[in-house]
Amino acid sequence: MFAAVAQEVGQLLGVGATFIGRYGNDDTSTGVGSWSRAGTPVPLGVKVRLDGTSVTALVFRTGRPARRESTDAASGEIAAITQELGIQSAVGAPIVVEGRPWGVMIAATNDGESLPSDTETRIAAFTELVATAISNTEARVEVSRLAEEQAALRRVATLVARESPAMEVFTEVACEVGLVLGAEGAWIYSYETDNSATAVAAWGAGEAGLGVGTRLDLDGDSVVALVRRTGRAARIDDYTNAAGSTGVIARELGLFSAVGSPVIVGGRLWGAITAVRLRPEPFPADAESRIEEFTELVATAISNIQARSDLAASRARIVAAADEERRRVVRDLHDGAQQRLVHTVVTLKLARGVLADDPVGAPPLLEEALQHAEGATAELRELAHGILPPVLTRGGLRAGVTALASRMPVPVHNGVLVDRLPRAVEATAYFVVAEALTNVAKHSHADHVAVTALVEEGILRVQVRDDGIGGARADGSGLVGLGDRLAVLEGSLRVESPPDGGTLIAAAIPFG
């Protein structure tokens, strides 16, 4: 199209040569169309700086048509080319696409004659047509790009939805990001605790040098290091002077420019996705935002994997706890109530044996049997209390908290404002309070404790707050066990325990 327009403009205006240039983001112009009556057009594809006083540079700086009656006094790279081609005078007009300067159209002559005064206006008519054609072409390209990008996102989203293995998702994302951005290479890195990053997926050029498992020190200038330091998307448009070991590696691999975006998982910086180019052409301005859509899918995949892992671990702990509890009950029954009942039976048999021959000796044996039976009853009652106290089953959560508070060495405010609840919810809430109060008694050095419970929109919210020394660890076995118990009911546990700030144990249990 540019070649045809250049020829039509040249023949219509009766000039010696025409030229169409496209402006770059780095104050340069690249020839995209030209024509010459003598058959020696301005060369295409050559990028030159917009310095000096050539018509191309004047139009770029002013955004308006410009002319030079003689190129002899013109300066700069473009002037040198036109002088070499024998061009003596030139007129140019800007090509404006959707309000932005896209390029320039120039008509020139080499016969020493000045171009007519209406040349700028006549060229401008063509530039409007060219701008319309460029706008339509760019719109088609943009639609095609968006379609390809959405297709890539759908492919990755499908893998995530299928709960595919992490490596499969990472590899697909690296490939799709590289293709979407027109890159020569793409990587996914996970950040380590020692200021380094490990490549967990690689695609394209440079893969042999930085394959999966490669570990980078983040002590220099690199996109991976910038994302780690700032927590935001980053870019480097020229690695020529990049410092540090990563800069050296980039130059060894022939990297010219790079962009990257952070992967945020559960509110923390997990890693980064990066794309690189080996040619001296920076990524487009929107490259970082286009990567972000893929980072969200990667974060979702990682969260899903972590959730599955946490669920498996929680289930294993629940099974182990249930097995241990069963063993404890069996052991307590065997060592306590069962032994007493055995003694009771043996003693009763002895009493029956002597009752006929020695009536005087029977009462002591019966008294002993009664004591064993009463002891067994007491032990069974205590055992049942350890499983689920009768006060809770009879009186509900408020009564259960009152019973717990009566055994505490510090005052406990009972702020339970709920009636009877489903049995499983009541029992879980009770054990949350029991574990929290046990921790207060053992570790907190508190002077006061407050227990509250209320129902909001179908969720039971239980809180135990003390004014102790704080510093409670959420990963302690007791609190981890509470988290597992709550997870069975799709509940959650929150622990806040700053040093010298007391401790808050908060549980949310949905029901109904």
* pLDDT tens-digit readout, 195-252: 889 988 888 865 445 788 888 888 777 888 888 989 898 888 887 777 776 667 777 7
Query: What one-character-per-residue DSSP string does 460-488 give?
Result: EEEEEEE-S-----TTSHHHHHHHHHHHH
Question: Looking at the predicted structure, is the pLDDT value of residue 386 above 60?
Answer: no
Q: What is the pLDDT averaged over residues 400-420?
A: 92
Closest listed residue to residue 455, CA positions, set 486, 421, 498, 482: 421
Rounded Cα gap, residues 217 and 429, in angstroms = 48
Bridge partners of residue 20, in order along the sequence = 33, 105
Predicted pLDDT at 316: 60
What are 128-182's pLDDT values in tens digits?
Answer: 888 888 888 777 776 776 777 777 778 777 777 777 777 888 888 888 888 888 8
Predicted pLDDT at 476: 80
For the chain, percent of residues with pLDDT exceeding 70 = 86
For the chain, percent of residues with pLDDT exceeding 90 = 16
Identify the residue with better confidence: 307 or 117. 117
Helix (H) or strand (E) holding 251: helix 244-252
Q: What is the pLDDT averaged over residues 54-71?
A: 86
Predicted pLDDT at 89: 84
What are 427-451's pLDDT values in tens digits?
Answer: 889 889 988 998 899 889 999 999 9
Predicted pLDDT at 207: 46
Q: Quick one: 457 exposed, middle or buried, by C-beta within 10 A (0-12, 13-18, 19+)?
A: exposed
Bridge partners of residue 189, in order along the sequence = 199, 272
Residue 181 near residue 164 (C-beta atoms within 8 A) = no
Rounded Cα gap, residues 366 and 181, in angstroms = 92
Residue 506 near residue 462 (C-beta atoms within 8 A) = yes
Rounded Cα gap, residues 223 and 216, in angstroms = 12
Q: What is the pLDDT averaged over residues 336-359?
A: 72
Question: Looking at the predicted structure, is the pLDDT value of residue 2 above 90?
Answer: no
Rounded Cα gap, residues 420 and 130, in angstroms = 78
**What is Dmax (Cα atoms) for the chain?**
152
Q: What is the pLDDT averaged over residues 362-376?
A: 76
Side-chain half-sphere CA neighbours of 331 within 13 A: 6
Predicted pLDDT at 113: 77
What are the angstrom distances between the C-alpha of 234 and each of 207, 227, 237, 241?
Answer: 21, 6, 10, 17
What are 64-97's pLDDT values in tens digits?
Answer: 998 888 766 667 777 777 777 777 788 999 999 8
What are the angstrom distances between the C-alpha of 498 and each of 108, 214, 433?
Answer: 77, 38, 20
What are 315-330's pLDDT values in tens digits?
Answer: 666 656 665 666 666 6
The single residue listed with the structure tokens 């009564």 is 399
What's the residue count for the chain? 512
Per-residue confidence band for 468, with pLDDT thresholds at 50, 70 and 90: very high
Residue 461 near residue 453 (C-beta atoms within 8 A) = yes
Among the residue ranges 5-9, 34-38, 95-99, 376-380, the one predicted with the least confidence is: 376-380
Rounded Cα gap, residues 374 and 425, in angstroms = 33
Looking at this protein, which amino acid is placed at residue 501? G
Rounded Cα gap, residues 467 and 148, in angstroms = 58
| Whether pTM exceeds 0.75 | no
Q: What average pLDDT is seen over the chain?
A: 81
Helix (H) or strand (E) holding 71: none
Predicted pLDDT at 451: 96
Q: Quick one: 65 exposed, middle or buried, by C-beta within 10 A (0-12, 13-18, 19+)?
A: buried
The single residue listed with the structure tokens 């700030």 is 501
Rounded Cα gap, residues 19 and 42, in angstroms = 7
Residue 401 near residue 416 (C-beta atoms within 8 A) = yes
Closest listed residue to residue 215, CA positions, set 202, 228, 196: 196
Predicted pLDDT at 208: 42
Predicted pLDDT at 460: 95
Rounded Cα gap, residues 510 and 458, in angstroms = 6
Rounded Cα gap, residues 279 and 14, in angstroms = 40
Closest listed residue to residue 458, CA positions, set 407, 430, 421, 423: 421
Q: What is the pLDDT averaged over residues 367-391?
A: 69
Cβ atoms < 10 Å from Cβ of 60? 21
